[in-house]
A and B are shown apart, each in its own frame.
Chain A
Amino acid sequence: MARIKLKPEKPGRRPIADKIFKIGATVAGVYVLVMVTLLVFQLVSESYPIWEEDGLSFITSTDWNAVDGRESFGALPYILGTLVTASLAMLIGVPLSIGIAMFISDAPPKIGGPLGFLVELLAAVPSVIYGLWGLFVFRLYFKDWIEKPLHDLFGDSIFLFSGTPFGLDIITASVILAIMIIPTVSAVSREVMKAVPQQQKEAAYMLGATKWEMFKLAVFPYSKTGLIGASILGLGRAVGETMAVTMLIGNATGIAAIPSSLFKPSQTMSSIIANEFVEASPASLHLPALIAVALVLLLIAIAINVVAHFLVTRMMNVKEGAINN
């Protein structure tokens, strides 16, 4: 009679295949940490020549000249350009997005669903197509219907509206950016508003509040943090956006790029990189200067997104806690 041998595995020991599996998964997980470190290290080391040459005055000076022998590089106009266009985009995009979120979070699903879907589709349109549309369609209407009248009315009295309304300027780029951040901001705001407990809303209605008063009494106080987070997330998007801005901002360089009027061509950090990177020679300071611009852009984007991340996740955690209780 054959004896059946049962050889149980020692308890507490994992099969070797599982160990390999775990190591493989861990390596893939750590990949992102390696990439972040390597990325920052590369940007710092490759832009080092310009920091050595100019120090912090690279960030505060306004000259930009890549001609051999007369090289001087200052990133201030582009940093300002980025901050101004992104803030304007926020100013236009955030109220619209919050309005959209209010409508969709409150509408019956049969209406809210499809409308929310259409707004989200805006995010699927590639940046370069926004640029193309902005350049050949939107700019022409915007120039004739909005820029020219504003310029005619206020051009002499208010500095914001001076300059020649040509369509390739700060305000056009900002409006396109605003359209591009709407899907992000409205989707996150909508979820944040949906996270408000139903009891809070009903309590407001019970006090006799109208719908708007209900939003004021119950929804906004509760979702404030999340809404701010959503807006900052949109700001992060606007700061990093490249192609549409490059195609619409007019691409001034140096001191001419300092944003002093809405109707003036300017330049952002990402657009100067897109415009000049390929022509920059690695032997000169031009390439290190552009990489330094990228480094500054990255640091600003990281700072913005970390803040947004904490605000939004905190809000969402609060929500889960509220439901469990």
Chain B
Amino acid sequence: MTTTNERRQEYRNLFKQNVEKRLLVDKAVRIVVFACVIIAIIPLGSILVEVFKNGISAISYEFLTETPGSIGSGEGGIGPAIQGTLIIIGLSSLIGVPIGVMSGIYLSEYGDNRLARSIRFFNDVFMEFPSIVLGIFAFLVIVLILGHFSVWAGAFALSLIMFPIVARTTEESLKMVPITYREAGTALGLKKWVITFRIVISAAKSGMITGILLSVSRIGGETAPLIMTILGSSQFFSSMDVPMDALPLRIWRLSLLPYDSAQLQGWGSALVLIIIILGINLGVRYFFANRKNGILGQLVKKGIHAKN
């Protein structure tokens, strides 16, 4: 069949119309996709702006160091909450980091068997357990048995959030150390634990520190598990066996009060908390994270996205 000139013209017109439509659709999609990014960034901007704008006027030396005044008076500060947050972060790191690091060493250095595969799987699932359930667990095994609220229960609950994150980041950073490093150690006649601690870990340090600090910034903002473990208090820390305060808990309690002054203090506390947490986060990303090949990218590629 021969194609006449009229037919050619007809095809050409069809193609032209079609291309115009396709390019239009393409352009529309580009705009929509860009709008998605903007829509996601607006809340972030708004949160940061509001927290800084409203929080800054609450901040003063007294606010940062004193105990809370009577409810609704707008006096006093959040000293115990700041102190409590630092204590609980320290204690849960004390429990969570060694367990997480050792577990990561097991997964990376001995992790080529069935047991390790199931541990890896449960680690990933455990990481996504609702944190409030972990709080209830700590309540059941510590608070209920001791018969009183305890700082240890809170630290235990937060360590449960922490250790799977530390374990996975440790494992991934140890795996990035070339096998030849280990072989060099073996050739020197070193014992395996010496090789692991002196050679492998010192090579994998920055990835591990990233993981640990990110898990710290994650638990620092955690509220739900603290409700049923350390409860909250308006006194400075005095003993492990009485309730203690923490910044996220204080923010929550302040937000429930109907007074403007409480709201102001809530914003002030939020500012302190967000400075601590974003400070750790940004610092880690700035100093340690090689975004493409670094530990953070590796984790996301494995389908693990630790909350931070």
A294 to chain B, nearest CB (A): 5
Residue A31 lies at the interface, judged by CB distance under 8 Å to chain B: yes
Do B122 and A31 touch across chains, with their CB atoms under 8 A apart? no
Q: Name the one of A127, A132, A195, A215 contacting B255, with C-beta atoms under 8 angstroms.
A: A132
Do A316 and B303 touch across chains, with their CB atoms under 8 A apart? yes
Q: Name the one of B46, B102, B248, B300 contacting A28, with C-beta atoms under 8 angstroms.
A: B102
Cα separation A241 to B130 with both chains bound (whole Å): 7
B45 nearest CB neighbor, chain A only: A118
Contact string, B179-218, partner A, CB cutoff 8 A, digits 1/0?
0000000000001110010000000000000000000010
8 A Cβ contacts from B193-251 to A: 193, 196, 217, 220-224, 227-228, 231, 248, 251
Contact string, A266-304, partner B, CB cutoff 8 A, digits 1/0?
000010011001100010000000110010011001100
Contact string, B1-44, partner A, CB cutoff 8 A, digits 1/0?
00000000000000000000011011001101111110111011
Question: Could you say which residues of chain B place their CB within 8 Å of the CB of A36?
Answer: 122, 125-126
Q: Name the one of A31, A237, A315 contacting B128, with C-beta atoms under 8 angstroms.
A: A237
Number of residue pairs A-B, CB distance < 8 angstroms: 284
Question: Could you say which residues of chain B place their CB within 8 Å of the CB of A125?
Answer: 44, 47, 221, 274, 277-278
Residue A184 lies at the interface, judged by CB distance under 8 Å to chain B: yes
Do A128 and B248 touch across chains, with their CB atoms under 8 A apart? yes
B194 nearest CB neighbor, chain A only: A17
Question: Could you say which residues of chain A place their CB within 8 Å of the CB of B220?
Answer: 126
8 A Cβ contacts from B155-174 to A: 160, 163-164, 167
Cα separation A206 to B202 with both chains bound (whole Å): 48
Q: A31-B99, A119-B40 are in contact. Are A270 and B25 (CB under 8 A)?
A: no
Question: Could you say which residues of chain A place their CB within 8 Å of the CB of B63?
Answer: none
Q: A126-B220, A128-B251 are in contact. Are A297 and B130 (CB under 8 A)?
A: yes
Residue B285 lies at the interface, judged by CB distance under 8 Å to chain A: yes
A75 to chain B, nearest CB (A): 14
Question: Could you say which residues of chain B place their CB within 8 Å of the CB of A312?
Answer: 303
A278 to chain B, nearest CB (A): 6
Do A32 and B103 touch across chains, with their CB atoms under 8 A apart? yes
Question: Could you say which residues of chain A place their CB within 8 Å of the CB of B287?
Answer: none
B42 nearest CB neighbor, chain A only: A179
Q: A38-B141, A39-B133 are in contact. Are A278 and B228 (CB under 8 A)?
A: yes
Do A129 and B47 touch across chains, with their CB atoms under 8 A apart? yes
Do A121 and B224 touch across chains, with their CB atoms under 8 A apart? no
Question: Could you say which residues of chain A place their CB within 8 Å of the CB of B303?
Answer: 188, 229, 233, 308-309, 312-313, 315-316
A133 nearest CB neighbor, chain B only: B47
Residue A29 lies at the interface, judged by CB distance under 8 Å to chain B: yes
Do A103 and B33 touch across chains, with their CB atoms under 8 A apart? yes
Q: Name the one of B29, B36, B50, B266 contacting A212, with C-beta atoms under 8 angstroms.
A: B29
8 A Cβ contacts from B273-302 to A: 273-274, 277-278, 281, 285, 291, 297, 300-302
Do A96 and B301 touch across chains, with their CB atoms under 8 A apart? no
Residue B140 lies at the interface, judged by CB distance under 8 Å to chain A: yes
Do A270 and B164 touch across chains, with their CB atoms under 8 A apart? no
Do B133 and A298 touch across chains, with their CB atoms under 8 A apart? yes
B197 nearest CB neighbor, chain A only: A21
Contact string, A70-101, partner B, CB cutoff 8 A, digits 1/0?
00000000000000000000000001110110
Contact string, B80-110, partner A, CB cutoff 8 A, digits 1/0?
0000000000000000001111110111011
Q: Name the one of B36, B102, B125 contacting A305, with C-beta atoms under 8 angstroms.
A: B125
Question: Could you say which residues of chain B place their CB within 8 Å of the CB of A195?
Answer: 301
Do A103 and B36 touch across chains, with their CB atoms under 8 A apart? yes
Could you tell me the dominant secondary structure of chain B's interface residues? helix
Residue A65 lies at the interface, judged by CB distance under 8 Å to chain B: no
Q: Name the one of B106, B224, B305 contacting A270, with C-beta atoms under 8 angstroms.
A: B224
Question: Could you say which residues of chain A place their CB within 8 Å of the CB of B51?
Answer: 129, 133
Question: Could you say which residues of chain B place their CB within 8 Å of the CB of A150?
Answer: none
Question: Could you say which residues of chain B place their CB within 8 Å of the CB of A174?
Answer: none
Tell me how many residues of A have a C-beta within 8 Å of chain B.
100
Cα separation A26 to B114 with both chains bound (whole Å): 13
Q: A119-B37, A122-B40 are in contact. Are A32 and B163 (CB under 8 A)?
A: yes
Question: Could you say which residues of chain A place their CB within 8 Å of the CB of B43?
Answer: 122, 133, 138, 179
Question: Could you say which residues of chain B place their CB within 8 Å of the CB of A183?
Answer: 305
Residue A63 lies at the interface, judged by CB distance under 8 Å to chain B: no
26 chain-A/chain-B pairs, Cβ below 8 angstroms: A14-B192, A22-B110, A29-B103, A29-B107, A32-B167, A46-B140, A96-B39, A97-B40, A113-B291, A118-B41, A121-B278, A124-B278, A125-B277, A126-B277, A129-B47, A136-B50, A179-B43, A186-B40, A210-B25, A211-B26, A242-B130, A291-B136, A297-B130, A298-B133, A309-B124, A315-B303
Q: Chain A residues in contact with chain B, CB under 8 A?
A: 14-15, 17-18, 20-22, 24-33, 35-36, 38-39, 42-43, 46, 95-97, 99-100, 102-104, 113, 115, 117-119, 121-133, 135-138, 179, 182-184, 186-188, 190-191, 195, 210-213, 215, 229, 233, 236-237, 239-243, 247, 270, 273-274, 277-278, 282, 290-291, 294, 297-298, 301-302, 305-306, 308-309, 312-313, 315-316
The 4 residue pairs across chains A and B that have the minimum distance between CB atoms: A126-B221, A99-B36, A240-B130, A28-B102
Q: Chain B residues in contact with chain A, CB under 8 A?
A: 22-23, 25-26, 29-30, 32-37, 39-41, 43-44, 46-47, 50-51, 98-103, 105-107, 109-111, 115-116, 118-119, 121-126, 128-134, 136-137, 139-141, 144, 160, 163-164, 167, 191-193, 196, 217, 220-224, 227-228, 231, 248, 251-252, 255, 263, 266-267, 270, 273-274, 277-278, 281, 285, 291, 297, 300-303, 305, 307-308
Given contacts A17-B191, A32-B126, A188-B305, 11 further A-B pairs with CB under 8 A are A21-B196, A33-B119, A43-B137, A125-B274, A126-B220, A128-B223, A129-B221, A133-B43, A240-B133, A301-B129, A305-B124
